[in-house]
């Protein structure tokens, strides 16, 4: 993933998640690294499709004469643009991209702990149950 794609993705995450206290800012999560790893592990066709969606997301507002590229829009204009493209034939693709953005943010350990979910505790509880109940 290149720097522009990472920046577009960061703007997308901030638009769809809008992290506010007590949730950590995007910069304090591994959401961007998650996308990079996700793309690296994806089949070539999926990787190309997600990257194409990021590029389309970036230039779409300019094509619609909304005042600039996606990264240049203010948060309110980004949200309106995302709502607008949901109603287009390409809306399903952008919904998938938004789902990846939410997964990247909410999958961060710090975000999960802030929301009251401790993944380490859940894993340990599962391991303990397997031992106690002789599973697997």
**Average pLDDT rounded to a whole number, residues 49-73:** 93
Overall residue count recorded for the chain in this entry: 136
134 pLDDT higher than 90: no
Residue 67: the pLDDT is 83
- Phi and psi at residue 112, in whole multiples of 5°? -60, -45
Residue 136: the pLDDT is 66
Domain ranges within the chain, ordered by starting residue: 3-109
Q: SS3 of 67, please?
A: coil
- Per residue in 75-92, is it b (16+ CB within 10 Å) or e — as a string? eebbeebbeebeeeeeee
The pTM (predicted TM-score) of the whole model is 0.85
**Average pLDDT rounded to a whole number, residues 109-135:** 90
Q: CB burial class (10 A; 0-12, 13-18, 19+) of residue 72?
A: middle
Residue 66: the pLDDT is 87
Q: What is the pLDDT of residues 101-111, one digit of tens each?
A: 999 999 999 99
């Amino acid at each position: 993933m290149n720097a522009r794609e990472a920046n577009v993705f960061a703007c997308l995450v901030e638009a769809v998640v809008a992290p506010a206290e007590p949730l950590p800012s995007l910069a304090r999560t591994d959401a961007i690294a998650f996308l990079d790893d996700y793309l690296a592990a994806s089949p070539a066709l999926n990787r190309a499709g997600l990257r194409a969606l990021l590029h389309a997301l970036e230039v779409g507002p300019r094509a619609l004469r909304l005042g600039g590229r996606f990264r240049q829009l203010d948060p309110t204009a980004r949200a309106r643009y995302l709502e607008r493209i949901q109603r287009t034939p390409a809306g399903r693709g952008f919904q998938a991209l938004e789902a990846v953005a939410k997964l990247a943010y909410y999958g961060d350990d710090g975000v999960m702990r802030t929301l009251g979910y401790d993944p380490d505790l859940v894993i340990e509880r599962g391991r303990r149950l397997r031992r106690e109940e002789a599973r697997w």
